[in-house]
Each structure stands twice: as C-alpha cells, then as structure tokens.
C-alpha cells in the first residue's frame, strides 16, 4: 500500500510545468546582471580598471546579441513581443483615468518598461564609458564625459533596483516566484511550452564568446605574457588574471 508521503513526493516530482524562456535569453539576463554589478563595483578603482572596462565592453556586446536574438530568435524572445506589450500602455492609462484600474496589466506593463529601459540605458552608459576611457576631447570634455558616465551608471543602478523591487512585489502579489522563468526557464502549470526549444547550443556559444573575450582582453594587457608563454587559462582563472592585470595600470 502506498503511503501518503510517497504519493505526495510523486505528485511533487511529476508536477506539470511549461517552458517560457529559452536558455540564450536566460544567459543574457544573468551575464548582463553580473557584468553591470561587477562594472559598478570596480568603477572607482584604478587597480580594477581593466576589469571595469572589460565588463563594460561585455555589456555592449551582450546588448548587441540580445537585439539580434530579438530579431531572429524564437517568438517568445522577439523584441516585437515586448513592444506589443508596451502598446497597451496608452489604453491602460485611459482606463485608469476612467476609474477602471487593471492591476495585472499594470504589473505586466511595469515589467516590460523596466526591461526596455535597462536595455536602452546601456547605450549612453557604454558610449560615455568608452569615450572617457579613450580620453576623447581633452581634459574639459573628458571631465564632462566622466560625470555623464557616472550619472548614467547611477541611473541604471536605480533601474536595476526598481526591477528587482518589482519582481519581489509581483512575487508577493501573485504568490509565486516571479524570477523563476529566468532561473529555470519554466513556470508551474499544465499546457504547451511557449518556448518550443531551449537553444542550449546558442547559450553555450554566448558563454564561450564572453569568456574568450575576457581572456583576449587579459592577453592584450601589460600582464598578459604568462598566457602567451603557455600558462593554462581556465574560466576560473580569468577573473584572477584580470585582477592581476590591474597592477599594470
């Protein structure tokens, strides 16, 4: 005779779920978050300058990938889907003014606006950082660019914190983990997968390109001779190599 405990465990392990986010989108999300966090934390240190610059370049590259993936990738990753969600903003505002407040639509619009704002904010952030790093325009212009870069960085930090706060709020209101789609790619419930394929090969390629770029950046630095001499380079050693390269700045 089956015990209630075994039946409950079996029901838990076989609970239906649907895939709603593919692997490349999830990899983009977490690499994007990692790079911004690392770049922000290393912004004020000359010792970590190469790490800061490398992560800034990586942010720009990740944004370029997301735009391409949003144009040629699967339907649920398309940027057009994001824009269609935002097209409901004007009708929602009209309904809200008329006293008909749709809370769930407000939540969805808030998430879509946050995602779009974060992607757009990377453009002036990385451009001002590139111009500052390469000392465009002399001392006076350079100071203005540096101040602008710091302003954009703080603005993006505010967007990130707002995004995290909105996810926490949605988790409370909907009594579910709103971050789950970016963690596992799936949500509980029966029904067809919205993301028909996981595209794990594309995700692995994105990771490989990012790590390869980090290694190349270190080899191009004043401390890059060890790799050229044949020292083994692993994913775990890339961060340490970039840290050591800061000593040459």
pLDDT tens per residue, range 33-58: 999 999 999 998 888 999 999 999 99
pLDDT at 185 over 60: yes
For residue 19, list its beta bridge partners: 186
pLDDT of residue 245: 44
pLDDT of residue 246: 45
The mean pLDDT value for 146-169 works out to 93
**Most confident of the ranges 8-22, 74-88, 155-169, 179-193:** 155-169
pLDDT of residue 88: 84
pLDDT at 183 over 60: yes
What percentage of the chain has pLDDT greater than the value 90? 43
Q: Which two tokens stand for residue 55?
A: 């992560």
Q: In sequence order, which residues have a C-beta less than 8 Å from that of residue 19 and are 6 or more positions away?
A: 185, 186, 193, 194, 195, 198
The mean pLDDT value for 99-112 works out to 78
pLDDT at 173 over 50: yes
Instruction: Say if residues 211 and 235 touch (Cβ distance below 8 Å).
Output: yes
Compute the mean pLDDT over every residue in the chain, rounded to the nearest whole number.
82
Q: What is the pLDDT of residues 186-245, one digit of tens each?
A: 888 887 888 889 999 999 999 999 999 999 998 866 554 334 334 444 445 545 544 554
pLDDT of residue 180: 87
Q: What is the pLDDT of residues 58-93, one digit of tens each?
A: 999 999 999 999 999 998 899 988 888 888 888 888
Binning pLDDT at 50, 70 and 90, where does residue 124 land?
Answer: very high
pLDDT of residue 236: 52
């Amino acid at each position: 005779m089956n015990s209630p405990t075994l039946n409950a465990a079996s029901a838990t392990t076989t609970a239906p779920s649907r895939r709603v986010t593919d692997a490349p989108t999830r990899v983009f999300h977490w690499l994007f978050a990692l790079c911004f966090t690392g770049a922000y934390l290393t912004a004020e240190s000359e010792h970590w300058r190469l790490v800061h610059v490398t992560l800034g370049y990586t942010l720009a590259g990740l944004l370029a990938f997301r735009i391409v993936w949003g144009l040629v990738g699967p339907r649920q990753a398309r940027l057009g889907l994001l824009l269609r969600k935002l097209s409901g903003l004007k009708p929602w505002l009209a309904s809200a003014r008329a006293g008909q407040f749709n809370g769930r639509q407000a939540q969805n619009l808030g998430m879509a606006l946050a995602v779009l704002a974060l992607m757009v904010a990377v453009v002036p952030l990385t451009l001002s950082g590139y111009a500052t790093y390469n000392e465009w325009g002399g001392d006076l212009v350079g100071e203005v660019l540096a101040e602008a870069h710091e302003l954009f960085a703080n603005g993006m930090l505010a967007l990130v914190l707002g995004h995290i706060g909105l996810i926490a709020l949605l988790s409370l209101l909907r009594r579910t983990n709103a971050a789950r789609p970016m963690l596992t790619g799936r949500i509980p419930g029966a029904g067809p997968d919205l993301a028909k394929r996981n595209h794990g090969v594309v995700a692995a390629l994105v990771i490989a390109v990012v790590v390869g770029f980090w290694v190349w950046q270190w080899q191009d630095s004043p401390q890059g001779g060890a790799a050229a001499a044949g020292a083994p380079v692993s994913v775990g050693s890339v961060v340490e190599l970039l840290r050591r390269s800061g000593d040459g700045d």
